[in-house]
């Protein structure tokens, strides 16, 4: 099936929160030809829901600490509210989608993150992706929509970074398909100036990446995202794109990551 291009698309939580841009994104995603997979998170939804339920969200250096109460909220919001709303909207656009988490078909198996300097709680680090199961859905022209929840071999659900879920799925599927990975979020791509959304760096290779790191242009949440990108490229993914909701139809400037 290497003659087919599989598109693995990760949508950021801030795009999901913007109803207009979210609907535009789903239309563009639905219009993509060929096999495709959608991955989503939804951090702010979980934070808002936790507040309504009287749970306090704990953060360390901008990262969520997933205690037992937070995990319940994440499973409800990611695996339920957000996931099923996306599936319903895609069905309305004529795209036959199915909502999944890592437990379904043992599709994303992880282990609980080891405690080092910080105990992140019920957070999963991915060990294996069931590419045969995912491929069986794609062969039936079904679009898998994955929430950022993985599962241990023992059956414990874990909160898992959505960018990592998308990257690991793309890597696993690259043995069967030519695989492209798309990160769609609120920015137009990787920016030379974080305050200027027009300062898009249109192409980044390893040399440029090291240069941007040295100049401290890549910081905060973009660091792990680009780390995932280059790991994916080194493990079979052909091309990676980063940009806003118009990225999928190449209607705007964006960033392309290459080896």
Binding residues for substrate: 42-43, 64, 159
With beta carbons less than 8 A apart as the criterion, state whether 87 and 101 touch: no
Give dist(CA 259, CA 240) in Å, integer. Answer: 10
Query: Residues forming the annotated binding site?
Result: 42-43, 64, 159
Terminal Cα-to-Cα distance of the chain (whole angstroms): 23
Beta strands in the chain (DSSP E): 5-11, 36-40, 58-60, 63-65, 97-100, 108-112, 124-129, 143-147, 149-151, 157-159, 178-184, 203-204, 239-243, 255-257
Give dist(CA 212, CA 208) in Å, integer. Answer: 6
């Amino acid at each position: 099936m290497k003659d087919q291009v599989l598109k693995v698309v990760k949508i950021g939580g801030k795009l999901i929160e913007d109803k207009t841009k979210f609907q535009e994104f789903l239309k563009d995603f639905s219009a993509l030809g060929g096999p495709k997979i959608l991955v989503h998170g939804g951090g702010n939804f979980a934070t808002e829901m936790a507040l309504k339920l009287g749970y306090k969200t704990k953060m360390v250096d901008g990262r969520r600490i997933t205690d037992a109460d937070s995990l319940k909220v994440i499973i409800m919001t990611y695996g339920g509210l957000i996931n099923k709303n996306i599936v319903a909207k895609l069905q309305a656009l004529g795209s036959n989608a199915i909502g999944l988490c890592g437990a379904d078909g043992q599709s994303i198996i992880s282990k609980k993150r080891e405690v080092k300097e910080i105990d992140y709680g019920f957070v999963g680090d991915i060990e294996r992706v069931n590419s045969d199961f995912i491929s069986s859905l794609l062969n039936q022209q079904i679009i898998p929509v994955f929430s950022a929840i993985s599962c241990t071999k023992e059956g414990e659900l874990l909160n898992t970074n959505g960018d990592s879920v998308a990257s690991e799925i793309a890597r696993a599927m690259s043995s069967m398909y030519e695989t492209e990975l798309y990160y769609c979020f609120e920015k137009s791509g990787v920016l030379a100036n974080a305050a200027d959304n027009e300062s898009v760096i249109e192409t980044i290779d390893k040399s440029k990446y090291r240069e941007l790191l040295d100049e401290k242009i890549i910081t905060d949440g973009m660091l792990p995202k680009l780390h995932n990108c280059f790991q994916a490229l080194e493990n079979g993914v052909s091309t990676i794109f980063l940009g806003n909701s118009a990225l999928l139809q190449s209607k705007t400037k964006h960033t392309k990551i290459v080896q």
